[in-house]
Amino acid sequence: MIIVREIDPADLALFDEWYDALRTGVVAGREAALVVGREALGFSLRTPGPLKRRIAVGAFEDDRVLGTMLFEYRLTDNLDTVEVEIDVPPQHRRRGIGTALWHWAVTRAAQLGRTIFQSEIGVPGESSPGSAFAERLGFTVEHVEDHLVVPLPYDEGRLDELRWSAGTLDGYRLTSWAGVCPPEHQQAYADLHTAMDEDVPTGGMTREVVPWTVEKLQASEQRVGRNYLALVTMAHTLSGAPAGYTLIYLPRADAEHAQQDDTLVLREHRGHNLGTHLKLANLDQLAKHRTTQRFLHTWTALSNAPMQKVNARFGFRSVEQNREVELTCPRLRPAARALVVDPDDRILLVRFEFDDGPLWTTPGGGLEADETLIEGLRRELREEIGLETPDDPPHLWHQEVVAEGHATGYDGVLNDIFLIRTGPFTVGGTLTEIELQAENLHGHRWWTLGELQSAEDRFAPRSLPSLVESVLRNGPPTTPLALGL
Ligand SMILES: CC(C)(COP(=O)(O)OP(=O)(O)OC[C@H]1O[C@@H](n2cnc3c(N)ncnc32)[C@H](O)[C@@H]1OP(=O)(O)O)[C@@H](O)C(=O)NCCC(=O)NCCS
């Protein structure tokens, strides 16, 4: 049975196992996948910054990590969006582990009230497991970039040729630094970052651009500087106005890979070969600071013809596509519920009274914003029926119902339903009958399978009798079954 749960990045042995699974999942079948370093990711998870929340999630079987997910969201902007990256090592694929992790993401996003999912997929050929998986979930490709690589150390002969053909740089001067931005350039550098964010093509990806301030720049450089040495070259006009910049990240603990990140020339300064001069100056910095890195990676939109041209001149070779994908989901109300089974295989159901008649369903209820599924289930079952929830109950079903009228203020409901086998117990929670009735709950009943199968009553999920039959006959499924109404 697969159990999906958040991992504590401070548990170093567990984090290492989780990271190994992530890395194996990312690199499989790809010539030049770039994986965030163990130290950099560990630091970012263990030391959250003020702008972003990052959660490491694992899919476990017998306490071994079989699949991983990074679930992240920004805290002060882009408040409808979450980013997910799901990675399953090849030997564990096609068993529903990716889907189980995805269901966790759907539930957590619903708890946060976020509806836009974004992800990036490295695709070496026409398609890949990741692109097939994302398509199956309903994601659409909104933006495509070429992922390009050039070997390091950079070819000195090519560098000489490029210098020669670039000629002299008239009307501008260049300033380079390694590490944090010198104070006298901070405002200009922050403004260039804002221009970069506004200018960089991102296709149809939903994105709110937030202007950079000097404070944000300093905070970001400080965080990033723990794990990466930033190599920057900036261009100014002779009167001191900023015209562009380029940035390479040299991971402090990655023996193999360096990243050519942003390169921007402001619109009014394009057409003067500034992009080439910036990159040349920064490659000089790279030659000075490089330790063991053997590859320089960069990403450029397929549609960005000028930058593609510069990259080709510098000898970058395309190794795969980076596809940015997005999916907007309805606003669903998340709830945790339990199929409670007694020693005689009887099922405990609670009865709701709605305008359109009674409905029998599993006990449980809506999650609070900061609860895990199990915490929510534990609270709800105590309140509603007075039953204690074990730590890792089997996760039976993940039900998404998009329909009006199921939960006020939402487009539908999301129920994660767990199996609890219990000894005989008397139903009676901490809520009074009047409090339960205020939530439309009017009583409960133990049902045998035969009674469920012959009943004319309405159940949620509708196919509850056959679902219960399958659980009683075959036990819980390995990964939660996806259900509709
Ligand atoms: C994508 C990935 C996470 C899928 O993990 P998984 O555990 O194999 O996923 P599931 O078993 O839940 O697959 C669910 C469905 O996705 C589709 N799918 C997944 N892999 C596929 C493949 N190689 N070819 C075609 N369809 C595929 C299928 O429809 C599959 O259902 P099925 O097995 O019943 O046909 C895994 O292949 C991976 O780690 N790839 C590399 C990283 C990546 O690209 N991640 C996606 C970015 S978030």
Residue 86 Cα to ligand 1 midpoint, Å, equals 9
Find out whether the beta carbon of 74 lies less than 6 Å from any atom of ligand 1.
no
Residue 197 Cα to ligand 1 midpoint, Å, equals 31
Check residue 202 and give left, alpha or beta (phi > 0: left; psi -120 to 50: alpha). alpha
Average pLDDT over every residue of 85-99: 98
Q: Using CA atoms in the order 260, 261, 267, 268, what is the torsion angle rounded to 10 degrees?
A: -60
Residue 133 Cα to ligand 1 midpoint, Å, equals 4
Q: Count CA atoms closer than 13 A to 171's CA, side-chain side.
A: 7
Express each pLDDT in 28-53 by its tens digit.
999 889 999 999 999 999 999 899 99
Find out whether the beta carbon of 326 lies less than 6 Å from any atom of ligand 1.
no
Express each pLDDT in 446-477 by its tens digit.
999 999 999 999 999 999 999 999 999 999 99
The pLDDT value given to residue 218: 97
Cα–Cα dist 460/356, whole Å: 14
Structural domains in the chain, sorted by start: 3-114 (3.40.630.30), 148-320 (3.40.630.30), 332-483 (3.90.79.10)
Find out whether the beta carbon of 350 lies less than 6 Å from any atom of ligand 1.
no
Find out whether the beta carbon of 321 lies less than 6 Å from any atom of ligand 1.
no
Ligand 1 atom nearest 88 alpha carbon: 39
The pLDDT value given to residue 408: 82
For ligand 1, atom 43: residue with the closest CA: 130
For ligand 1, atom 45: residue with the closest CA: 130
Residue 459 Cα to ligand 1 midpoint, Å, equals 32
Query: Is pLDDT larger for residue 142 or for residue 355?
Result: 142
The pLDDT value given to residue 436: 86
> Is the predicted pLDDT of residue 200 greater than 90, yes or no?
no
For ligand 1, atom 46: residue with the closest CA: 130
Average pLDDT, the chain: 95
Find out whether the beta carbon of 329 lies less than 6 Å from any atom of ligand 1.
no
Find out whether the beta carbon of 99 lies less than 6 Å from any atom of ligand 1.
yes
Residue 6 Cα to ligand 1 midpoint, Å, equals 21
Residue 97 Cα to ligand 1 midpoint, Å, equals 8
Report the residue among 133, 322, 479 best suited for mutation to probe ligand 1: largest number of ligand atoms under 8 A from its CB.
133
Report the residue among 23, 94, 140 best suited for mutation to probe ligand 1: largest number of ligand atoms under 8 A from its CB.
94
> Is the predicted pLDDT of residue 424 greater than 90, yes or no?
no
Ligand 1 atom nearest 69 alpha carbon: 48
Least confident of 204-208, 369-373, 458-462: 369-373
> Is the predicted pLDDT of residue 304 greater than 90, yes or no?
no
Express each pLDDT in 386-404 by its tens digit.
999 999 899 999 999 998 8
The pLDDT value given to residue 404: 80
- Please, which pLDDT band fits residue 191 given cuts at 50, 70 and 90? very high
Ligand 1 atom nearest 137 alpha carbon: 16
Average pLDDT over every residue of 178-182: 98
Find out whether the beta carbon of 30 lies less than 6 Å from any atom of ligand 1.
no
Residue 98 Cα to ligand 1 midpoint, Å, equals 6
> Is the predicted pLDDT of residue 406 greater than 80, yes or no?
no
Ligand 1 atom nearest 86 alpha carbon: 48
